[in-house]
Structure 1
Amino acid sequence: MEIAEVLKLADELIFAKTGEHIDYLQKAILEGTFQGRTYPQIAEATHSSEGHTRDIGSELWQILSKGFGEEITKRNFRAIFKKANFNNYQSTIGSDNITVNNVNICQERARSPTEPQNSQPTPKQLHIDLGDAPEIFTFFDRTSELSTLENWITRDRTRLIALLGISGIGKTTLSLSLIDQIKTQFDYVIYRSLRFSPTLDATLTNLLQIFSQPSEIPQNIETKISQLLDYLRKYRCLIVLDDVQMLFSSGQLAGQYKTGYEDYQLFFKLIAEVCHQSCLILNSWEKPREIARLSKDNHPVRCFELGSLGVAAKEILNSQKLSDEETWETLIDIYQGNPLWLELTATLIRELFGGRVAEFLQCEMPILDESLQFQLSQPFGRLTPAELAVMIHLANQPEPVGVSQFFNKIPFSPSEIVNAVRSLGNRFLLDAIEDEKITLFSLNPVMKQYVQR
């Protein structure tokens, strides 16, 4: 008996009794049971709670018991399936019957999910709605990042991913490139920006219009959430919500929702905890507070912090036709491999230095183009007084320092300082270095220059 045979028969049985094919967690339970794994082990492997895994398992054994004609449990499942005569297993398409060991176990809904009657398999219809997504003209090498995200989504079945990083680092470009790479594995692919801070009610209505007619959309927000979750279970969906930081308050610690937007937190929590077959990606340059906890509670939730382009950023400088290629890595390091920062700086070099990077680097570094200063002003404009004080203190330190070295140096309590440092980390404005079991903090040259200007 091979596991492939077991899964095929189980899929037929489930489809016959429910009209639905075997889902990710049911398959994991069958495979895990076949391999002798416990519920806690299966739950850990699937990033599900043990209780939820047991509940799905219980439902699964009941379905199989009804279809098989005898009681099936986790304990006897392997033995019963091993006794089954797979040579006598028949899927009689024309008569809508499935028979195992001469016992008819399926009725009118028993139609082979892999062999449509008298026809070739119908290609899955793909619905793509990218809304107001920007057009991507160039994409610089992010092969490793794309591979990781694809594995999380298609192999690990991660339900909620936070794609994080400072403004300009390339989150939108990466997520749209990811969509292009894996879109054929989904029924629905959707991109929406939250740059204008829509309420959750407005966002849900916008999403539900993709699946149903406006007249079918309920008025109650709880019912809207429930309806969307139903669609995420029924279809394999990939949804990207960009600019999530616009849901958070200015002048508050990172990830604090604006008044009236707190229900997004519950929505994201449900996406992580409720069983479905879809994935929601959140792009943000502030880390949502609930993500840290959910990613530690065995939920299928992941955080991906997007960093420097590295040497791949040379493509940006080459596209601007800059000279002195031997100095490009120095320029990339100074501007942290941030695609937007480098594009703005490369334009400045081309316009004022004739494209000569070596001549530009003779100036006191870093030079901040006016457009770059504007980009940096956006996250800085959201800081609390304590965060600003920490940034100013770090900008004047020649070496990285530990949190305790802030105490008595700036006019805030230790609790306020600790919370400010953590919040700055969640905004990706600090560099952290582990040194002999002590975490030291500093500002990169661009940040330091911006604070000191």
Structure 2
Amino acid sequence: MTVEELLDAVEKILQNRPLDSIQWFVLYQSWLGKTYDEMAQGTGYGSNYIKQIGSQLWQDLSQAAGERITKKNLHLVLSKYLQGITEQQNQPQEQQPDTKFRFTRFYPNLFSPGKMEFPSGPLPINSSLYINRPPLEELICSELIQPGCLIRIKAPKKMGKSSLLNRMIAYAKEQNYQVVYLDFQEADEEVFVSLDKFLRWFCIYVTRQLNLFPCLDDFWDIEMGSKVSCKIYFEAYLLQYIAENPVVLALNEVQRVFEHPNIAQDFLPMLRFWHEQAKQDCIWQKLRMVVVHTTEIYVPLKLNQSPFNVGITITLPPFTPKQVQDLALRYGLEWAVSPEGEKRLESLQAMVGGHPYLVSLALYHLSRQEITLERLLETASTPMGIYTQHLRELLNLLQKEPELMPAMQQVITSNEKVELDAIAAYKLESMGLVQLNGNQACVMCELYRLYFSQQLVKL
């Protein structure tokens, strides 16, 4: 049974009595075989509420059809009902409403041209295009309520780190936690001139975010050093004067600090020390830290100084085929649930490897019917393709680091994982060009292999 046939059957049973958007959503997801818990993951509703909606829906359908309809027998009963109605009809059916218009009832407010935004930047909190990647969201939320926690979110660019961080921040605010969000890309280059200047900037930034008055000079002591002064400032001022509710320190784009070894070799061990202080000092239990970055640190640190072998590490994986299919449906591509549609999505997956941004960009253009999937894949790595701007940006990044050219050449010409120098491997990963297993690297996706195979020959 197709989506249209499902709609036809339900409309005939209910005699065109409309269902609201959440009822359509539950109906369609049930037809796809999703559990109520799985439905709840993609919405702002709890699973109990979704279950109540479903229970009432099956009751209404059963009453109207004169036959018991449940979540389990939905396919069988509706198919039989539709077949019976079709056999009785001796005249052409009335013209059906536009498919895309009808399909928006499953995912309301998504598919009108004015509301379907070009994929760019983090997804808003209320976006239905956000795809959960269980158990990452649940793990972060459960860890965030632990006193003195340290969470690290790591992934290449455009894999969804900021979208995930935004949802973590929203969850923290729901718990009445105070949140300090600091993106190190905002810092001027002169901030990184010295550790003292950097830590003073860091303290002032956090103070302003907490709506407190900066008073660094009352706590800063040159004789004691910048790190100790920073610790005392947090301990004796910031953490003392905030309310009893914890404060979440969300540090984004921390790889910017990695680029300044004179800062990183002191700042990162300081974060680890603060995390360890929470084990013995209740004042530090109020501080929850989230560190977000694109790559591993390549500043030499002793094992017992690194903040990245304590706390928990969240690594964002590519989308699975099922997640790609789910996102395709949210873009209104109803063909995605057919056997042929699944094969077509497999070809997209083979090209972009489940990379969230590359998948979203493809589905955006497909949903607007600007290009066929076959043409999209055929031109993907060429200047005529939809990825041309993204690929040029990656090429420009690579050209700024000419010492990485041989390493990238080595990766794209090998069908197996390649052992690379640690710094080259980490830099290529931060650009999103390779996937790492230790220092062994493979190209992120076939699209990148095709494109860079052509471009590196010219250089």
| TM superposition score normalised by structure 2 | 0.54
Does residue 279 (structure 1) correspond to residue 282 (structure 2)? The answer is no
| 1:204 match | 203
Distance 1:195 1:314, change over 3 A: farther
Q: Is the 8 A contact 2:182 2:252 kept in 1?
A: yes
In the aligned structure 2, how far is the partner of 1:166 from the partner of 1:146? 18
In the aligned structure 1, how far is the partner of 2:327 from the partner of 2:264? 38
| 1:228 match | 234
Which amino acid is the alignment partner of residue 213 of structure 2?
Answer: P
Distance 1:152 1:213, change over 3 A: closer
Distance 1:312 1:418, change over 3 A: closer
Q: Which residue, out of 165, 168, 182, partners 1:178?
A: 168
In the aligned structure 2, how far is the partner of 1:152 from the partner of 1:388? 40
In the aligned structure 2, how far is the partner of 1:337 from the partner of 1:393? 23
In the aligned structure 1, how far is the partner of 2:162 from the partner of 2:396? 17
| 1:193 match | 183
Q: Which residue, out of 371, 376, 399, partners 1:360?
A: 376
| 1:449 match | 450
Please state how far the C-alpha of 1:166 moved relative to its aligned partner.
0.8
List per-residue Cα deviations over 1:357-387 (Å, max 9, x = no partner).
24434557695612322453475356461x3
Q: Is the 8 A contact 1:208 1:217 kept in 2?
A: no
| 1:116 match | none
Distance 1:382 1:364, change over 3 A: closer
Q: Is the 8 A contact 2:394 2:431 kept in 1?
A: no
In the aligned structure 1, how far is the partner of 2:398 from the partner of 2:126? 29
Distance 1:162 1:294, change over 3 A: farther
In the aligned structure 2, how far is the partner of 1:232 from the partner of 1:289? 31
Distance 1:422 1:284, change over 3 A: closer
| 1:328 match | 345
Identity of aligned residues (%): 12
| 2:13 match | none
Please state how far the C-alpha of 1:176 moved relative to its aligned partner.
1.0
In the aligned structure 2, how far is the partner of 1:370 from the partner of 1:247? 30
Distance 1:141 1:294, change over 3 A: farther
Q: Which residue, out of 131, 140, 144, partners 1:140?
A: 131
Please state how far the C-alpha of 1:286 moved relative to its aligned partner.
1.9
Which amino acid is the alignment partner of residue 372 of structure 1?
Answer: H
Which amino acid is the alignment partner of residue 171 of structure 2?
Answer: Q
Does residue 309 (structure 1) correspond to residue 324 (structure 2)? The answer is no
| 2:388 match | 370
Distance 1:375 1:136, change over 3 A: farther
Q: Which runs of 5+ in 2 are unaligned?
A: 1-120, 192-197, 221-225, 279-283
Distance 1:146 1:214, change over 3 A: same
Does residue 340 (structure 1) correspond to residue 351 (structure 2)? The answer is no
What does 1:16-55 correspond to in 2, within 5 Å?
none
The total of aligned residue pairs comes to 295
Q: Which residue, out of 400, 416, 435, partners 1:431?
A: 435
Q: Which residue, out of 283, 294, 297, partners 1:288?
A: 297
Q: Is the 8 A contact 1:271 1:280 kept in 2?
A: no
List per-residue Cα deviations over 1:39-92 (Å, max 9, x = no partner).
xxxxxxxxxxxxxxxxxxxxxxxxxxxxxxxxxxxxxxxxxxxxxxxxxxxxxx
Which amino acid is the alignment partner of residue 304 of structure 1?
Answer: I
Q: Is the 8 A contact 1:309 1:338 kept in 2?
A: yes
Q: Which runs of 5+ in 1 are unaligned?
A: 1-131, 250-256, 407-416
Please state how far the C-alpha of 1:281 moved relative to its aligned partner.
0.9
Q: Is the 8 A contact 1:171 1:306 kept in 2?
A: yes
Which amino acid is the alignment partner of residue 330 of structure 1?
Answer: S
Which amino acid is the alignment partner of residue 273 of structure 1?
Answer: E
Does residue 248 (structure 1) correspond to residue 258 (structure 2)? The answer is yes
| TM superposition score normalised by structure 1 | 0.54
| 1:239 match | 249
Q: Is the 8 A contact 2:151 2:290 kept in 1?
A: yes
In the aligned structure 2, how far is the partner of 1:368 from the partner of 1:133? 20
Q: Is the 8 A contact 1:205 1:224 kept in 2?
A: no
Distance 1:357 1:192, change over 3 A: same
In the aligned structure 2, how far is the partner of 1:374 from the partner of 1:294? 40
In the aligned structure 1, how far is the partner of 2:132 from the partner of 2:255? 26
Question: Which stretch of structure 1 is more off in the superposition, 145-154 or 361-370?
Answer: 361-370
In the aligned structure 2, how far is the partner of 1:137 from the partner of 1:297? 33
In the aligned structure 1, how far is the partner of 2:359 from the partner of 2:181? 26
Please state how far the C-alpha of 1:212 moved relative to its aligned partner.
5.9
Instruction: Kindly report the root-mean-square deviation, in angstroms, between the aligned alpha carbons of the 2 structures.
Output: 3.8
What does 1:86-105 correspond to in 2, within 5 Å?
none
Q: Is the 8 A contact 2:269 2:306 kept in 1?
A: no
In the aligned structure 1, how far is the partner of 2:375 from the partner of 2:162? 33
Please state how far the C-alpha of 1:285 moved relative to its aligned partner.
0.8
In the aligned structure 1, how far is the partner of 2:211 from the partner of 2:379? 59
Distance 1:133 1:389, change over 3 A: closer
In the aligned structure 2, how far is the partner of 1:134 from the partner of 1:298? 27
